[in-house]
Structure 1
Amino acid sequence: MIWLVIGLVLFLGVHSVRIFAPEFRRAQIEARGLNTWKGIYSVASIVGFVILVWGFNIARQDPVVFWVAPVWMSHLVALLMVFVMILLVASQVPAGRIKAAVKHPMLLAVKIWALAHLLVNGDLASVVLFGAFLVWAIIDRISEKKRLRAGLTTNPVAGPVKWDIISVVGGLVLYVAFLMFLHEWLIGVAPIPGL
């Protein structure tokens, strides 16, 4: 469990600098340059992610189980993940109507993903992992609203509908890939047993 926690602290910590230490971030960018800051940020994120995945896999080998979800719950999670994948793609393309309406599709995707996985994973490692991501995404969204009110950021403006089409089609392709083979290949668990 300790490696999972270390990975989460590193990965989410790096992603929280803008939330909790914006002046530090600004000073680092001014002193080192934006590209150097992005490089440090990326390396720390990758290292944190690798450690948290490794730590999660270790922690799952000796689970402490709080609850066991009914089998039908995995179908609900599968449905929620359709929206997650569409939002993930929408977060990576220019704004269409989806991105403009949601404002922060990546954060909403993380919240839905984390909550959905908490519904079907009642072991301690999963509660720590998905709970941490859910709390982080909520805090980051609150921080985004504060930055918006302070005039430090703006909401996306709706662009051409082609970006919505790309988001939906791309999200569905990503969803099918995860459902059919990527989830089991990357995580080691079939999202819907027997599929």
Structure 2
Amino acid sequence: MTLLILGLLLWAGAHLVKRLAPGARAVLQDKMGDGSKGLIAALILLSVVLMVLGYRSADGAVYWGRTGAMVGINNLLMVVAVALFGVGNSKSRLRGKMRHPMLTGLIVWGVAHLLVNGDVPSFVLFGGLIAWALLEMILVNRAEHEYVPYDGGSFAGDVRLAVITLVVYAVISGIHWWLGYVPFGA
């Protein structure tokens, strides 16, 4: 569980330094230039590795397990989560209607996984990332009062988003299967 918690803290710290310690971030950028972005990216990658290793090795009480209904709801929510991750960079009409599509997608992803993983390591991982995403939304909203929504989008952009979502969802499902986590069925 230590690696999992360390990974979560590193993830949150690397992402939140821009909002919570802008002076330190500016000093780092002055000293390293564009290399500071590489350092932050490396810390985020390390945090993901720690979270994966920590989650896979963590034990804890189990309060509920997978059921057919929850697996089905999880899969539907995952399609929504993948779509939301793509909305922010799409030319879809939905892009102009959402301020934080990636963070919202992460929250949906976390909730979906908690529906089928009712154990303590899942509470720590998915609950921790949900809490981080909510905090990040609050901090972004406080810092960026002059939000200007995307003005554009088209039906063709909606179709592209839908196709890309389904392809990415299929790849994610395949990776889960390859790792031994069957994403379909109880």
With normalisation by structure 2, the TM-score equals 0.90
Q: Which runs of 5+ in 2 are unaligned?
A: none
CA RMSD after TM alignment: 1.9
Alignment of 1:8-23 (within 5 A): 8-23=8-23
Q: What does residue 178 of structure 2 align with?
A: 185
1:4-56 deviations in whole A, cap 9, x for unaligned?
A: 111111122211212322222233223322x1111101111111111110111
Q: What does residue 81 of structure 1 align with?
A: 78
Q: How has the CA–CA distance of structure 1 residues 136 and 121 changed in structure 2, closer, same or farther, with 3 Å as cutoff? A: same
Larger mean Cα displacement after TM superposition, 68-77 or 101-110: 68-77
Q: Which runs of 5+ in 1 are unaligned?
A: none
Alignment of 1:34-113 (within 5 A): 35-59=34-58, 62-91=59-88, 93-113=89-109
Q: How has the CA–CA distance of structure 1 residues 136 and 155 changed in structure 2, closer, same or farther, with 3 Å as cutoff? A: farther
Percent identity of paired positions between Structure 1 and Structure 2: 33
Do the aligned residues in 1 keep the contact of 2:96 with 2:151 (CA within 8 Å)?
Answer: yes
In 2, the alpha carbon distance for the partners of 1:19 and 1:67 equals 36
In 2, the alpha carbon distance for the partners of 1:94 and 1:192 equals 28
In 2, the alpha carbon distance for the partners of 1:94 and 1:177 equals 19
Q: What does residue 142 of structure 1 align with?
A: 138
Do the aligned residues in 2 keep the contact of 1:90 with 1:164 (CA within 8 Å)?
Answer: no
With normalisation by structure 1, the TM-score equals 0.86
| Number of positions where the alignment pairs a residue of Structure 1 with one of Structure 2 | 185
Do the aligned residues in 2 keep the contact of 1:95 with 1:156 (CA within 8 Å)?
Answer: no
In 2, the alpha carbon distance for the partners of 1:120 and 1:190 equals 12
Q: Which of 167, 173, 181 is the equivalent residue of 1:173?
A: 167
Q: How has the CA–CA distance of structure 1 residues 19 and 115 changed in structure 2, closer, same or farther, with 3 Å as cutoff? A: farther
